[in-house]
Amino acid sequence: MKIAVIGAGHIGNTLGKKWSTAGYAVYYGVREPGNPKYSHLWESGEVYNIHRAIETAKVVLLSIPGDAVTEFVETCQDSLEGKLIIDATNNIRGGPMNNLELLYEKTQNTQLIRAFSTLGWENFENPVINGQQVDLFFCGHSGARAVAEKLISDIGLRPIYLGPLEKADLVDGLTRIWFELVFEQAHSRRLMLKMVEKD
Ligand SMILES: NC(=O)c1ccc[n+]([C@@H]2O[C@H](COP(=O)([O-])OP(=O)(O)OC[C@H]3O[C@@H](n4cnc5c(N)ncnc54)[C@H](OP(=O)(O)O)[C@@H]3O)[C@@H](O)[C@H]2O)c1
């Protein structure tokens, strides 16, 4: 499967590298593909401009700053048609944490997933803490659930589905808890929230 990774910073590059290792074809979509600052990406994928990356892939990971998404959607509306879009962005300056409503309203025939937004990127790079696998809570279109679960599992995380898009606020609540613990209570960024269920 081909994955366009839009925004190749901490989240994009971490997930892109791991998906590449798992056998996916990764296409990084960046603003200046010719810039040598992206040369470290070549070992895990192709570096394209944003439109070309989206057009090449079926799955699109959105890993740019939350406040850049409005402009991104306006510019890329046509090429996003029919894609499975994973929104990992967080609006940290207020408003809804996710960008699902915008994506839903402005794109055609897309399947939307809210994932990779609740934990720091270090936990995706190394998804085991104290010998325990990191859980990733996510939500989105049920038709995209199986693909999303596979993509999450292939990062090394345990996927836990919370339901359709309407559950995004629940997912984002977990992000707020993570932010509170890490940024206000000074806990480590290598911190996860785990579901433990009696057999
Ligand atoms: N860091 C985390 O642990 C974490 C965890 C969960 C979710 N998130 C969310 O994931 C998103 C990415 O976070 P990050 O930490 O990976 O950020 P980052 O390291 O700063 O990387 C952001 C990337 O987005 C690109 N970018 C910036 N503005 C853009 C624009 N207007 N259009 C297109 N691309 C643009 C940057 O490209 P240039 O190189 O061209 O500047 C950069 O490659 C954010 O929404 C963040 O809230 C982050």
Please name the residue that has the structure tokens 């929230």. 193
Ligand 1 geometric centre to CA of 118 (Å): 15
Number of Cβ within a 10 Å radius of residue 96: 14
Sorted by where each starts, the structural domains of the chain and their CATH numbers stand as 2-184 (3.40.50.720)
Q: Mapping DSSP to helix (H, G, I), strand (E, B) and coil, where does residue 156 land?
A: coil
Range 54-58 average pLDDT: 98
Residue 139 and residue 133 in contact, taking contact as beta carbons nearer than 8 Å: no
pLDDT tens digits, residue range 59-78? Answer: 999 999 999 999 999 999 99
**Which residue ranges have their beta carbon within 6 Å of ligand 1?**
7-12, 30-31, 63-66, 68, 71-72, 88-90, 92, 117, 120-121
Best of 32, 64, 118 for a ligand 1 pocket test (most atoms within 8 Å of beta carbon): 64
Q: Which helix (H) or strand (E) holds 47?
A: strand 46-49
DSSP 8-state code for residue 43 = T
Instruction: Compute the mean pLDDT over every residue in the chain, rounded to the nearest whole number.
Output: 97
Confidence of residue 94 (pLDDT cuts 50, 70, 90): confident
Atom of ligand 1 nearest to the CA of 120: 3
Q: What is the pLDDT of residue 189?
A: 98
pTM: 0.98
Both structure tokens of 178:
């993570």
Residue 124: name the closest of 96, 86, 91 by CA. Answer: 86
pLDDT tens digits, residue range 119-148? Answer: 999 999 999 999 999 999 999 999 999 999
